[in-house]
Amino acid sequence: MISAVEWRLRSFAGEFLERQGGVIEWLEQQDAGYAVLPRPLAEILECPPDTPITTKPAAEGLSINLGSQFWERVRRCFPAVSGLTLKIDALYLKKSSMDEPVARAFGFSNARARVSGALPERVEYQYWYFTAGIESDERWDDVFRVVINSRTGAVLDLPDPLTMAEVRVAELAAVPPTIPIIPIAIGTAARKAQDRAETFVRRLEERMRRDAQRLREYYAALLAEDTGRARGSPVEPAVAQSRRKAVELELKRKTDELRERYTLRLALRPVALVRLEIPALAVKIEARHRGVQTDLTVYWNALAKTLEPLACARCSNATFAIHLAEDLSVRCPACRAS
């Protein structure tokens, strides 16, 4: 079974590798496929030029799993993704007790949770800017950003840092790669692009349906005309039969052409990365699940002036409804059973 996030990563990886000159053979419902890559690309991705490709964790070949190295390596292929780094030195941080705000914001379905403390930290937020385009009978283009807390991987809605007066250009240290930020950014961007293109896609599908209907009506009228003529002068049944067959074939050919013309090709490209470091309040939570304790950190965001959600370890969606999996990782309600 392929999950929605695997689908999005897979379609991005496939489109990306093909754009870089690779050839991918991957049947729709299969966990793995096969890739043939140009040598320079294979070197960047640190894999053989002929390699299996899979959405599952794999020791060999190309794994495009959420936690795999693939995404870090893909980044080397985007020289245009600039590394603008910014910081804000001081922002107001909440000083009162966090017990009540945490209890109000978060729900724990299978754990007892209590706030054990809160302290100021400097946290990096990554602003990934994407262009998305759909090539079909018409074109659709968009530019948008995906903002991610680099500690938790949570996707947030934060204001554009370039509009903030307190922002300064700064050198920032590299973020330790504990969170798969790139696949989260790409997976979220693909979902966002789908949402934003919804009206365009619906209109296109509507037009395709209308065109297909028109085609069917045209060929049905042609056949009816034939039948009418046949009544006037007797036509051999074999001749009538073969004419009918020819018309049906022509309709099928035209319908296939129409489908091809309306095929949607989504291209998603990261174009810029802005890293912003700001003060945040790290709120420590002790969560006990079946007698075992795990420590979680949630952040009070000084720009949004509110608590941030956590990211589901499986689908990476942001969530305030926390379910702890057997390995004590955070799951959203949709992933709690898996």
Shortest CB 68 distance to Zn ion, Å: 18
Q: How many residues bind Zn ion (CB under 5 A)?
A: 5
Subset of residues 259 to 318 that bind Zn ion, contact rule: CB under 5 A: 312, 314-315
3-state secondary structure of 235: coil
Could you please report the per-residue DSSP string of 262-321? T--EEEEEEEEEEEEEEEEEEEEEEEEETTEEEEEEEEEETTTTEEPPEEPTTT--EESE
Shortest CB 224 distance to Zn ion, Å: 55
Shortest CB 268 distance to Zn ion, Å: 21
Rounded distance between C-alpha atoms, residue 90 and residue 1, angstroms: 47
Shortest CB 153 distance to Zn ion, Å: 12
177 and 72 in contact (C-beta within 8 Å)? Answer: yes
- Closer residue to Zn ion (CB): 208 or 328: 328
3-state secondary structure of 97: coil
Pattern of binders to Zn ion over 318-337, x per CB under 5 A? --------------x--x--
- Closer residue to Zn ion (CB): 88 or 184: 184
Q: b/e string for 62-90 if b means 16 or more Cβ within 10 A?
A: bbbbbebebbebbeebeeebeeebbbbee
Neighbouring residues of 22: CB distance < 8 A, sequence distance ≥ 6: 35, 36, 37, 38, 41
- Closer residue to Zn ion (CB): 269 or 314: 314
- Closer residue to Zn ion (CB): 146 or 335: 335
Shortest CB 38 distance to Zn ion, Å: 36
306: tokens are 């509110």
Shortest CB 323 distance to Zn ion, Å: 9
> Pseudo-torsion of CA 180, 181, 185, 191, nearest 10°?
30
- Closer residue to Zn ion (CB): 185 or 312: 312
Shortest CB 324 distance to Zn ion, Å: 13
Shortest CB 194 distance to Zn ion, Å: 17
Subset of residues 216 to 245 that bind Zn ion, contact rule: CB under 5 A: none
Kindly give the residue spans of alpha helices, DSSP state H, lying in 121-236.
181-196, 198-232
Closest CA to 182 of 327, 73, 299, 108: 73
- Closer residue to Zn ion (CB): 17 or 315: 315
Q: b/e string for 91-123 if b means 16 or more Cβ within 10 A?
A: bebbeeebeebbeebbebeebebebeebeeeeb
- Closer residue to Zn ion (CB): 4 or 224: 4
What is the sign of the dihedral through the CA atoms of 14, 16, 19 and 20?
A: negative
Shortest CB 330 distance to Zn ion, Å: 9
126 and 311 in contact (C-beta within 8 Å)? Answer: no
- Closer residue to Zn ion (CB): 9 or 315: 315
- Closer residue to Zn ion (CB): 273 or 312: 312
Kindly list the residues in this chain that would bind Zn ion in the complex (CB under 5 A): 312, 314-315, 332, 335
